[in-house]
Amino acid sequence: MAEPNILLTRIDNRLIHGQVGVTWVNHLGANLILVANDQVAEDPVQQNLMDMVVPDTIQTRFFSIQKTIDIIHKASPRQKIFIVVKDPHDALKLVKGGVPIKKINIGNMHYEEGKKQIAPTVSVDEEDIKAFKELAKLGVELDLRRVPDEKGQNILDLIK
């Protein structure tokens, strides 16, 4: 079975918004945005709101983490897939489940109580740091940047 054509995986707790639906999609040349998130997979209202941001030429799918793991290998080679997840824990579940993710873009993780800000749009706690370190051990490149033309940084350099 051929490996799915995953162009990039992005961690963004907003999931699909203008930056993802237009800027990143155009930069990558993606024709499919796959949101892997258990809550959104069950919420048609959120799905519809996210679909409004995406050009009509781009397909969207809203799958649970498990469904993504189960069917990603059935993707057509014509599908140029951009996966979006809410946090590093979901990304780690995908990788451990066999989704062939080689690079993760960390774009947005809002500050909340108990998290420390490590970049203008990224805040982490100890559990997030553990997940990032485990992803790195599994061979995943971790690139922190908001938009494609920004210079990326390895998140591990910021969380040591």
* Catalytic positions, written as ranges: 17
How far is 70 from 5, CA to CA, in rounded Å? 16
Q: How many CA atoms lie within 13 A of 96 on its CB side?
A: 13
Contact 88, 14 (CB under 8 A): no
For the purposes of burial, counting CB atoms within 10 Å of the CB of 38, is it exposed (0-12), middle (13-18) or buried (19 or more)? middle
DSSP 3-20: PP-EEEEEEETT-SSHII
Contact 60, 50 (CB under 8 A): yes
